[in-house]
Structure 1
Amino acid sequence: MAPHHPEDVRMTAARPPRRAVAAAERTRQPTEVRRRLIVEAAVPLIAERGYASVGVRDVAAAAGVSVGTVTYHFGSVQEVLTEAMVLHIERYYAALSEAAERAGDAAEALRLLVDALFTEDTDRHWRMWFDYWNAGDQDPDQGFTRGQAQRYGTWHQQIRSLAQWGVDEGEFTCDDLDGFTVRFAALADGLALQRLRQSPPLTTQDARRHLNRLIETELRLM
């Protein structure tokens, strides 16, 4: 962790009396609150500019704090961006889980999951997701890679649990739930990448149709 930056002590006093003061600077907040504020501010920056294009000054300006405050609480800008991506991913997949939980049965839950994966708004998520994976490929830190793998494992478990629910309730049969899970996740990623690049063109409706076809083919209705 970087030492406390002198700029952090002076910045409130240096401001003109009538200038609006950021909420984070009006009171001395606990470390975890300040860290969260900085991480929250980084999420839309990544969405707008891409993971590799966000610097520590960008994060500080968005959070309404000094650069010294950011470097005091985080060892590097990558640490900030990684936590921001984790926060975004956790929220995104929590929303998917909530959509599936509203279903009356597993077949409906899978349909709702597919619908939530591909909307006009989810292009933003998929762009951030691929940026995150590319950043991991370029970084030698094994902890970063392990974190990505853990989050992917959680996503696989979410898919598999819905399929298992349907099998347990006798809605459909499947000879290879693990294989279905891998193929569903891989197809979702591939369709998302094609959707972003539009080469060849792919609509959200077609992306959903391809995933639903996989479900119908591999999870045989009873």
Structure 2
Amino acid sequence: MTADPEGAAPHPGPNPSGPKRRAVAPDKRTRQPTEVRRRLILEAAVPLVSEHGAGRVGLRDIARAAGVSVGTVTYHFAGVKEIISEAVSIEIDGYYRPLGERMLSLPTATEGLEALVEGVFNAETDRHWRLWFDSWASSATLAPDSHQHRRYEHWSDRVAELITRGRDSGEFRCPDVDETTIRFNAMVDGLALRRLRGAPPLSLEQARSHLRRFLASELGLAQRP
């Protein structure tokens, strides 16, 4: 592994329509611990991929956004694919963890279920879904990598925990929690993809309405008017 060329200036983006963030001047940079620099690069990559798509973001774009040299990026990562994979893992963790904590902390499982529905489809979640699906589309396989897979499994466990809580309290009727959890996640993924494609259009309220009807059927709940 070569030395980290921290002082080298990043090259400009590959095309005029690329990201325009100004690089940090060499005399303004300070040497930071390895994990800090890695995190800085990953956090810079998330909005770039979300806005432009994984296939249109290169090393120079990420370096410019992070305010480091291209050499520093390649010192810490094997390439764009690795950066995007780890950036998506950060996004997944930042999206699912607080939602899981919130829905499980509410007084009843029914309230937690509504927090879940509102949490997976709201004005803030489109970026998450765009990043998630784009990372799949840009890879050789549609399966998430090991980091993403573990986080996805953790999220499924939280959903199952909420459903189990409601079943045990008598709020829900659910003969097979695991199967309901699988169907729930599949429906969320499908609705999210439909919403991003926009053909035909699917509003946030429509997505939530479809999800509520599904859960009402699966869990024996009265449907909202």
Relative to 1, partners in 2 of residues 1:10 and 1:195: Cα closer, same or farther, differing over 3 Å?
closer
Query: Is 1:199 equivalent to 2:203 in the alignment?
Result: no
Do the aligned partners of residues 22 and 95 (structure 1) sit closer, same or farther apart at CA in structure 2, a change above 3 Å counting? farther
TM-score by length of 1: 0.85
CA change 1:22–1:106 in 2 (3 A) is farther
Q: Residues of 1 paired with 2:3 and 2:197: CA distance? A: 44
Distance verdict in 2 for CA 1:207–1:22, change over 3 Å: farther
Match of 2:75 in 1: 72
Of Structure 1 and Structure 2, which has the larger fraction of its residues in helix?
1
Would you say 1:129 and 2:132 are equivalent positions? yes
C-alpha change, 1:154 and 1:133, in structure 2 (3 Å) is farther
Counterpart of 2:162 in structure 1 is: 162
> 1:35 aligned to 2:34?
no
Q: Is the Cα–Cα contact under 8 Å of residues 106 and 166 in structure 1 kept in the other structure? A: yes
C-alpha contact (below 8 Å) 1:109/1:162 kept by paired residues: yes
Matching residue of 1:90: 93
Deviation string, structure 1 residues 76-125 (Cα, Å, up to 9, x no partner): 12111111111111001023124314521111101111111111321111
Using the size of structure 2 for normalisation, the TM-score is 0.84
Which residue of 2 is the match for residue 4 of structure 1? 3
Q: Partner of 1:182 in structure 2?
A: 182
Q: In 2 relative to 1, CA 9–121 (structure 1 residues): closer, same or farther, beyond 3 Å?
A: closer
Q: Does 1:54 align with 2:33?
A: no
RMSD: 2.6
The offset of 1:147, in angstroms, is: 3.1
Number of positions where the alignment pairs a residue of Structure 1 with one of Structure 2: 210
Does the Cα contact within 8 Å between 2:6 and 2:71 map onto a contact in 1? yes
Q: Deviations over 1:13-36 (max 9, x none)?
A: xxxxxx96379x632211111111
User: How has the CA–CA distance of structure 1 residues 22 and 99 changed in structure 2, closer, same or farther, with 3 Å as cutoff?
Assistant: farther
List runs of 5+ in structure 2 lacking aligned partners.
11-22
SS state at 1:172 partner: coil
Q: 2:120 aligns with which of 117, 121, 142?
A: 117
* Identical residues among aligned pairs (%): 48
